[in-house]
Amino acid sequence: MVGTYTDTLMSAQGCDSIVHTTLDFYAAAFDSITTSICNGDSLFVGGAWQNLAGTYEDTLTSSNGCDSLLFTTLDFFPIAFDSVDVTICAGDSVFLAGAWQYIAGDFVDVTTSSNGCDSSIYTHLFVHALPLVTLTLDTTVCINWSFIDLFGESPAGGTWSGIGVSGSQFEPSSVAPGSYIITYTYVDSNFCLANASDTIVVDLCTGLQEIDGVIISIYPNPANDYLNIQFASANASTVYQIIDTKGSALVKGQMNQQNLSIPVNQLSNGIYFIQIIHQGKISTSKFTVQH
């Protein structure tokens, strides 16, 4: 116990010698700490490398030479990971696992989390095929024609672009004679995009309604049941065709006489063009069907 104690001793001369001793104790030296490390790491406590959570005791020597106890509570940060799905279109790529990836599969990226430990991100990559887009448009139009409907696209529901294009129509009179690339673009339900292109040729179509100075007369206009053609130079090699505003030939035949009546009662109301082809030359005229 703490206190003052007296001892009576005999000195070297044989006399009593009194020693007064005051006894005190250092306060017990101990401490406790809590520390966390990353999963997979270890910490040297309790006399060994520890990789399990728990409380460990170490006996040390304090500055006054006494034993000092250190209690360490060891904890581990939880494993940090995440899983995500990523979708791209064929031809695109995304940076995963240290490289640009364009083939479907699973990829792992290891980063550092806010606590300084490794964090894993698992990415499942999906790759959607591009839609199959086709366009068959190749046609020739006359420069003095008004708007014509663009056609020949698949699948429906896409958008058109190119010189002279407005919405889903082409305006020959807005451009100079020549060949023009028309592009059709389609975006599917996966937001993947593909396109196809074809050409429209805009021609001057000189000599309309006459060939070699011979006038071609077409009446009535609008037509109801029949469209009459008068062409004095017609012979067995002269042919005609009726085309719609998309450039599709609907009716074809020979004009082997100077006066010909063509039935048009099977055509829907609208604008059409009739071409007379004679000895390699073409005359194009516009007419309307109105029942």
Ranges of each domain in the chain: 1-76, 80-128, 134-203, 210-289
pLDDT value of residue 104: 96
Distance CA 142, CA 188 (A): 34
Distance CA 223, CA 205 (A): 23
Extract the residue ranges of the chain whose pLDDT is less than 50. 207-208
pLDDT value of residue 168: 94
pLDDT value of residue 196: 97
Q: Does the CA dihedral 175-180-181-182 come out positive or negative?
A: positive
pLDDT value of residue 207: 43
pTM: 0.53
pLDDT value of residue 209: 60
Q: Which residues contact 265 (CB under 8 A, 6 or more apart)?
A: 224, 225, 226, 291
Coarse DSSP helix, strand, coil percentages of the chain, rounded to the nearest 5 percent: 0, 60, 40
Strands 67-76 and 29-37 come out as parallel
pLDDT value of residue 206: 54
Strands 178-187 and 193-203 come out as antiparallel
Pick the CATH number of 134-203 from 2.60.40.10, 3.90.870.10, 3.30.1330.200, 1.10.510.10: 2.60.40.10
Pick the CATH number of 210-289 from 3.30.930.10, 3.40.50.1820, 2.60.40.1180, 2.60.40.3080: 2.60.40.3080
